[in-house]
Amino acid sequence: MIFHFLLDPTLINRTYREIAELTEVALRNINYVMNGLKNEGYIVSLTKNEYKLTRQKELFEKWIALYHQRLKPTLKIGEFRFMNTHQTIHWKEIKLTPEKTYWGGNAQCH
């Protein structure tokens, strides 16, 4: 969610439901994160319903540090192989979710 705010600071003025949908963060967590950012002074109130993201460079540096500590270790990156010969031969036909799955690798001959 914070990464999305750094990419588009105007996102903080959307409804919590819109933020949840756009960031793929559970709706119940939006209030928790917003309050944390407000308490730490990263979000300030301009009017009753309008906010501004401040100290973006500092927040980005904090996000990077916490990304390496908490988020990166949970990413499912590893070595995988196909379950059967058909998949190995026809791998280009496998439907991937472009936003969540990427082909990559290093071809090795045995």
Domains of the chain listed by start with CATH number = 2-74 (1.10.10)
Strand-pairing partners, residue 44, are: 52
pLDDT value, residue 106 = 58
CB of 5 closer than 8 Å to CB of 53: yes
**Using one digit for the tens of pLDDT, what is the confidence trace for 15-41?**
999 999 999 999 999 999 999 999 999
Helices (H), 24-109: 27-39, 56-66, 85-89
Q: What is the DSSP letter of 11?
A: G
**Using one digit for the tens of pLDDT, what is the confidence trace for 28-84?**
999 999 999 999 999 999 998 899 999 999 999 999 998 888 887 777 766 777 888
